[in-house]
Structure 1
Amino acid sequence: MMFVTYAKPLVGARRGLAPTGSAAPGVYPLTEVLLRDRLRRQRQCRTARRNIIANLSSEQSRKKHTVVPITTRKHIEEAIRDGTLDQLKLNPYELPKLNSDYLRHPLMEELGNDQIFISDDCIGLIKFHGGYLQDNRDQRVRGELKKYQFMLRLKMPAGECPPSLYTTLDDISETYGNKTLRLTTRSSFQIHGIHKSNLKTVVQSIVRAGGGLYGASGDCSRNVIAPPAPFVDAAYAQARHVARMVAELFAIQSHAFADLWLDGELAASIEYWKKELDMDEVRRLMTEDNGRGQVLQDSVEPLYGKLYLPRKFKVGVTVPGDNSIDIYTHDIGIVVFCDAQGQLEGANILVGGGMGRTHNKEETFARAADPLGYVPAAALYDTLKAILAAQRDHGNRAVRTNARMKYLVHRLGIDRFRELVKSYMVGGGSALESIRSMPPWTFQDYLGWREQGDGRWFFGLYVQNGRIKDELKKALRALTDRFNFPLVCTPQQNLLITQVPATARPDVETLLASFGVETAASALDPLMRDAMACPALPLCPPAITEAERVMPRYVQRVRELLSKVGISPHASFVMRMTGCPNGCTRPYMAELGFVGSGPNCTYQVWLGGSPMQTRLAWPYIDRVTDDQVERVLEPVFVFWKSAREPDESFGDFCDRVGKAQLEAYAQRYWDGVPAAPVS
C-alpha cells in the first residue's frame, strides 16, 4: 500500500507519493492499481507527444526548407545525465539560466562590484528581474567606455497603476532616471537612465510602493494585458480578473528577487494586484498535478524548472469584439465569455502569435495567432498550463530567433499543436471544444471621456509615443497629488485616468489645460492618434535606427503627402514604426508599418494590415531611405484614392490589390503611363 498527500501543497511543492505506512491526517491510500493507472497515463502522454513530433520530423524531411537545429528541454536533461552537455547545440541564454541557481548567480555578485555594467551572462538573467542594460549612443565617444545605464520595466497585470505607485515612479525618474517615464505596448511603465549603483535603491522603492518587477521580462510569462477600459461590465471585470490570475499562475517562484534586491527578506508590502486574488487558490492551481506532465519534479519552479521557457511568453485577455490588445499578436490570446449572472462561463483560446523576426532570415517571421478552441471555465487554467508546458518542453532552445511558441505552432501546424496541448490536459483534452463564434473585432483606443458604468468616468489621455515628459509629466503629477485617481496604462502607450466623479470632470480638464495638455481627443490628427513608435535610439540595444524621435515628423510627412494627392485631412490609418525588426509596437499588424532596416532612418515598409488589427501586413519594399519615403508612398496613396471601394480602408485596399499591382501601378505612375484597371 502507498499513499498520496492531498493536502494543500506549499508554493513550488509537487504533490507526490508519501512513504508507505499508516495513513496520516490528510493522507489517503493510493492503491497499486491507481498508481499503475497513473503511470500508464503518463507513458501514454509521453508516447503521444513523441509520435506528434516524430511524424512532423518525417514529413518535414521530405520538404525543401531552411534547416533549423532544434534542441528541447528533454535533450538538455539527457545531455546532463550523460555528461554530454558541452556537445549540445544551445543558444547563449540557456546555460546561464541552468547554472544560475534559479536566477541568482553570477548576477548577485556582479551587482555588488564596482563596474558600471554587467557581463553577457547576466544580461539575460537581469531581464527576469525587470532590468535591461543599455547605453546612450548619443553620448558615445570613440575610445572611451560606453555610458552604461539600466532600464527597469514594471509588471502591471491589466495595466493598472495605483496613484501611490505612480508618484513613486515619478520621483524615481526625477532622482535616479532620465526625468521621463515611458509607457509600453504591454500596458506598463519603463524607467530609463538608472545607474547600476542606484538599482537596488530604486527596486526597493518600487517594491515598498506595492509595485513589481519580477517576471516583467525574461524567458517567462511577461506582463499579462487586458482591455484598459475600467468598465464595471461583467465581461470586462472577468477579463481583468483572468489577467491577474494568469499573471500569478505563471509567476516566477524562485526567491532570487528577494535575495538580490531585498537582502533576502520577502517584501513587506504585497503587490497591489494580489489583493484582488485568492492566492491560496492560485497556488493550488499552479501546483496541481494532473499526472500528464504539466508540473515538473522541481520544488522551486513547478511550471518552469531550472531552464524556464525557451523565450519570452506573452498573454493577452479580452472580451468578444474588443481588440484594444491586438489579440492575434500573443503567444496565448484569451477571449472570455460570461453567463447571464456575470460569471465566467468559458473562453476562446488563440495561440501562436508573435511579432519578432530578423531581417534576411526567412526562417523568422511575424505570425498571427490561430484559434485553438473553446474551454469551459472549469478547464481554463488546466488548458493554459498545458499550453505553457508544450512550449516549455518542445520549444527550440538551440536557436534563439526560433524559440518563440509561434515557431512550434508553425512547425507542427495548429491541428498537431492542439493534439500536443491536449496530451497535457486532464482527460486528454476532452474539455477543449470548437471555437465559439464571436462578433467582429473593433479597435479601441479609449481616448477622451467615457462612463465606467458605476456613475464615475474615465479619461483617456493621449501620450505621444508613450513618452511622459516635460509639461505632461508635471500635469500628471499635479493631478495625482490632488485627486489620487488610479491610472491604467494602455496597449497603445496612452494613459487612462479612472474613477473620476462626474463633478470632478471640469477640474480635471482645467488642471490639464493649465499645463498646456490637450484634452479634446478630436483635436488630434487622426494619423497621430493611431500611430505608435518604440523607443529605439539612443538607448535600446537592438535598435538599428530611429523610431520614437522621428515618428511625429513621419506622421506629418504622410499627412502632407495625403493632402498633396487630394485625400481628406480626416483620413486615417494605423501607422507604426520600430527601430529594428523585433516588432515591439506590432508594426506587422499595421496598415502602414516602418521597420528599421538600416542606419539614418532606413526602413522596410509593410502594407496591408487590417484597421482592426486582425490581419498580418506584408513587406512592400525592403529598404527605403529617409529621402525616398514620399516617392515610395505617393503612387500608393494615389492608387488608393482612385481605385478604392466605398469606405475601404487603406490597409484593406492594399491587401485586396496586392503587392504586384501596387508595384506595377507605382512604375506606371512615375513613368507617366496611364493606370491599368484594377483586376
Structure 2
Amino acid sequence: MLAHSVLSPATCPRVGRGVSRRGQLVVTNVATPNKPPASRLARRSKVEVIKENSDFLRHPLMQDLVDDQPMISEDSIQLMKFHGSYQQDDREKRTRGAGKVYQFMMRTRQPAGLVSNELYLTMDDLADQYGNGTLRLTTREAFQLHGVLKQDLKTVFSSVVKAMGSTLGACGDVNRNVIAPPLVDRTRKEYAVAAQLAEDIADLLAPQSGAYYDVWLDGEKFMSMERENPKVTKDRAFNKFGTNIEGPEPIYGPLFLPRKFKTGVTVPGDNHIDLLTNDLGVVVISDDKGEWKGCNIYVGGGLGRTHRNEDTFAAIASPLGYVDKEDVFHVVKAIIATQRDYGRRDDRRQARLKYLVHQWGVDRFRSVVEQYMGKKMEPFVPLPAWEYKDYLGWGEHGDGKLYWGLYVQNGRVKGEAKKALREVIEGYDLPVIITANQNLILTDINPADKDAITKKLSAAGLRDRDDWDAIELTSMACPALPLCGLAVTEAERTLPDVNAAIRATMTRVGLPEDEPLIVRMTGCPNGCARPYMAEVGFVGDGPNSYQLYLGGSPNATRLADVYEERVKHGDITSTLEPLFAYWSQSRRTGESFGDFCGRIGFDGLRSFAESYEPSGAPAKAAAAAAAPANGNGKAAAPAKAKAAPAATGGSTPLESQLTALLQEAAAKGGKTPEQVLADLLKKAAQE
C-alpha cells in the first residue's frame, strides 16, 4: 500500500484516526495540538506496511505456521514479534556446514515478574520437551525459552496460555512487559500498589483484536476479560478526548506503535528496575497515612542506539508531572496516543519515544499529552534519593512466611540448578518472582522448610548471596551469540570470566576483595542488559571487541559515557587496571568507581593511564593526571588519596609520620600526596 494512503496528524493536524476492519483509516473528530510536529518524510518503513496489511497481526503468519518449511517469511518474522517470539538460527551450527538451523525464542509477559507455581512448572517442562533444556530470566522480569522448532510453536504457546500465562506483547511495536520491584515486603502497601499497577497497565495496553487467540488457540480464549480490573476496561473504552481509534485495536490502531514501548512502575527510593531507562516511568505516591493517592510520571528513557550513528543515543527519562490515581490510566493512554500519532514511522532508528521527547522538549510533549488527557498535569512531587536494591538473600514477607532471593548467573537456569529448583518449587508449592537483574525469588516459604530448601539448592550451586562475589551479584549480560541475530560478539558466555579477571585486577591494585562494581555486557548496541547505566559497560562492536563505557552511577540515575572504542577482549584488564589503581589511591571515602570516573573526568583518567607503571606505586601517573580540566569542563582535582604502597620491609616511625602529614595536606588541598611532596620540594629548591 502506498504511503499516501495513511493520514497522520503531522499532515492533517485537526483530524483524528479511525480504522475499519481491513485497516483503512477513517476520519474521526479528536483534539490535537494546534501546532503539528515538525514535517517528516511521507514514506514509511517496510515494517509499517507489513503491520497495516496483516489484518491486525494475522497474515501471512497463520499461513506460514502450517506450511512444511522450517522457517517463516520475512513479513511473518515481524508479526511474530508481537506474539512474543523471534525466529533465530544457531550461527555456530551454521558455520560448521550444516546450513541454517532455524529455531524460535519465545518470551513471556510477566507483569511485576510474578510467576505462579503452575506457570513455572509449565515453563520448566517446555524447556525440556521443546526447548534447549534451559530457561532464561530476562532483565524485564520474564522468561525466554530458546530452541523451539516451528512445528512445536502452537503446542508451546497454547501450553503457556492454558497455564494462565501469556506471551502477547512481549515483543514488537507495543507496550512490552511492565516491570516493578519484587513484591516481597507485604507490610508496605505501596509495593502492592506498584505490582497491581504493573498488571493493570499491561492489561490496558495489551493488543485487543483477538489475533493472538486466532493464531495460537484457533480462536478459543482461555483468559477471560473478566479477570482484568474493571477500571482498566472502563478507562480503555473512554474516548472523550480522542485517544482511541475505531476498530479492533482501540489504543493502537492497525499500525500499532512506531517502535517498542517499555514501562516501569516503582515506589519512591527503590530503583531496582532502572526506572529511568523506560519510555514511561510511573512512581507510586502515597499520602501521610500510607494510602495511594497518585503517581509521578517520567517519559523518554531508552538505551538502544546504533554504532557510528550519532543521531541515535541512550537517554534517561525526564519528569513529566503528577496525576491523581483516578487519572493514571488516562495519562498512560495519552502518552501512548502521543507516541502513536507523532512518533516517526519512516525511520525505525528514530522511532522510540525518547527521540520525540528530545525533538519537542518536555514542555511541548506535556502539552500534547494534556490535550489527549483532557486536563492539566500537576507539578512533580519531590522524591527521595534513588537506591538500587537487589532483593537477594533471605527475608521475611511480614505475614509469617519467608522469601529467598537467588542469584542466577546471567539469568540462565540450567543443569543441576534447574533440576533442584524444579524439585523445590514443585515439592513446596512455591510461587516465584523474576527480578529485573535476571535473578529468581522463591516466595511463600514456611520457616520450618528453610534449612531443607537451603541445603537442597546450595548443593546444586544456588548459594546464598554472601557466597558470591559482589561483582557477580550486580552484573548482567544479554544472551548474544550464538542465537541472537543482532549480536556481533559474546556476552552471556564470556562475562563470568571477565568478572573474575576484573576482580583479580582490582585486588592487585589494592582494592578490597568485597568492593562492589556494576558490570554489564551486551553483544550489540541495543543495550538489552542496560550497559549504558553500568559503572563499567561493555557494548559489542565487533568480533571479540567492545566499546568500553564508564561512569554510570550505582543507583542507576546517570548514564555512562564511552571511554574507549574497540577494546579487544584480551585487552580489557590492561585497559581497566590503571583506572582501578587511580581509583584505589585517590577515591574519597566510600566513593564508587562510577562516581569517581564522573568526578575525575575522562581527560584525567586518560592522563593517569598514559603514565601508569603497573609494577609499582603510580606516583608519576598521579602527577600527570593533575590536568586543569576534564573533557566535560570539570575540574580534575583528585581528592584524598591513599598513600603509595610502602617499600618491602615496612616503614619507619618517621616515614609513617611523614606519610600521615602528606595525606592530611593532600586532603585539604585536593591533591595527591605525591603532588604535595613535589610542591614542597620545588618550594625548597627556590628558597
TM-score bin (small chain): 0.7 to 0.9
1:368 aligns with 2:322: no
Summarize the alignment of residues 218-297 of structure 1 with structure 2, pairs less than 5 Å apart.
Answer: 218-232=172-186, 233-267=188-222, 269-270=223-224, 275=227, 277-278=228-229, 280-291=230-241, 293-296=242-245
Aligned-pair CA distance for 1:287: 1.2
* Aligned pair partner of 1:385 in 333, 358, 371: 333
TM-superposition CA deviations, 1:578-607 (whole Å, max 9, x none)? 0000000100000000000101x2000000
Task: Name the counterpart of 1:538.
Answer: 482
Q: Could you tell me which residue of structure 1 aligns to residue 357 of structure 2?
A: 409
Matched residue SS, 1:219: coil
Matched-pair contact (CA < 8 Å) for 2:90–2:482: yes
Give 5+ residue unaligned stretches, structure 1.
1-12, 15-37, 58-69, 72-87
Tell me how far apart the structure 2 counterparts of residues 144 and 471 of structure 1 sit (CA, whole Å): 30
The TM-score with structure 1 as length reference comes to: 0.85
CA RMSD of aligned residues (A): 1.9
1:484-523 per-residue CA deviation (whole Å, 9 max, x = no partner) reads: 11000000000000111222212221221343431x2111
- 2:400 is matched with which residue? 455
TM-score under structure 2 length normalisation: 0.84
1:659 and 2:602 are equivalent in the alignment? yes
Shift of 1:397: 0.6
Paired residues for 1:97-116 under 5 Å: 97-116=51-70
By how many angstroms is 1:567 displaced? 1.0
More divergent stretch after superposition (413-422 vs 440-449): 413-422
Matched AA of 1:643: S
Aligned to 2:164, the other structure's residue is in SS state: coil
The offset of 1:634, in angstroms, is 1.1
1:164 and 2:118 matched: yes
CA distance in 1, matches of 2:391, 2:349: 34
Partner SS for 1:374: strand
Identity across the alignment (%): 47
Kindly indicate whether residue 43 of structure 2 is the aligned counterpart of residue 46 of structure 1: no
Conserved in 1, the CA contact under 8 Å of 2:609 and 2:621? Answer: no
| Structure 2 gaps, min length 5 | 1-16, 19-27, 627-635, 638-687
- Give, as a single letter, the amino acid of the residue that structure 2 aligns with 1:295: N
In 2: Cα distance, 1:228 partner to 1:211 partner:
18
* 1:213 positional shift: 0.8
- Deviation for aligned residue 1:444: 0.6
Partner residue of 1:628 out of 571, 594, 601: 571
CA deviation vs aligned residue, 1:454-492 (integer Å, no higher than 9, x gap): 121111011000000001100110011211110000000
Q: Deviations over 1:268-318 (max 9, x none)?
A: x559xx84x42x322111110122x2111x220010000000000000000
Equivalent residue number for residue 523 of structure 1: 467
The 8 Å contact of residues 301 and 315 in structure 2, kept in 1 or not, is answered as yes
Give 1:231 deviation, angstroms. Answer: 1.8
Deviating more after overlay: 654-663 vs 140-149: 140-149
> For the residues of structure 2 that align with 1:425 and 1:246, how far apart are their CA atoms?
16
Code of the residue aligned with 1:358 in structure 2: it is T
1:10-66: CA deviations, max 9, x gaps?
xxx99xxxxxxxxxxxxxxxxxxxxxxx96xx4xx424252xx25xx7xxxxxxxxx
Shift of 1:92: 2.1
Q: Following the alignment from structure 2 to structure 1, what is the Cα–Cα distance between the partners of residues 475 and 306? A: 23
How does 1:416-455 map onto structure 2 within 5 Å? 416-427=364-375, 430=376, 432-455=377-400
User: Among 484, 495, 498, which residue is 1:554 paired with?
Assistant: 498
SS at match of 1:612: coil
Output the CA distance in 1 between the equivalents of 2:538 and 2:340: 32
Q: Which residue of 1 aligns with 2:150?
A: 196
Query: Residue type matched to 1:460 in 2?
Result: G
Larger relative contact order, structure 1 or 2 (CA cutoff 8 Å, min sep 6):
1
Counterpart amino acid of 2:622?
A
Equivalent residues of 1:234, 1:338 under 8 A apart: no
Q: Partner residue of 2:279?
A: 331
TM alignment of 1:473-512, pairs within 5 A: 473-512=418-457
Corresponding residue of 2:592? 649
Distance 2:346 2:220 in 1: 36
Partner AA of 2:555 in structure 1: M
Decide whether the 8 Å contact of 1:210 with 1:270 is kept in 2: no
Structure 1 position 607 matched with structure 2 position 550: yes
Instruction: Report Cα offsets for 1:613-651 as digits up to 9, x if no partner.
Output: 011000000110012112211111111112211111000
Tell me the amino acid that sits aligned with residue 524 of structure 1. W
**What's the secondary structure of 2:119's corresponding residue?**
helix
1:571 equivalent in alignment to 2:519: no
- Superposition pairs for residues 337-352 of structure 1, below 5 Å? 337-340=285-288, 342-352=290-300
Compare CA radii of gyration and give the structure with the larger one.
2
CA distances 1:222-260 after superposition (whole Å, capped 9, x unpaired): 100000132211100000111111001101001111111
- Alpha-carbon distance in 2 for matches of 1:379, 1:270: 25
Contact 1:604 1:619 in 2 (8 A): yes
| Counterpart check, 1:468 vs 2:413 | yes
Provide the residue aligned with 1:618 in structure 2: 561
**Does the 8 A contact of 2:123 with 2:160 survive in 1?**
yes
Deviation at 1:142, TM superposition (A): 6.5
> What is residue 186 of structure 1 aligned with on the other side?
140
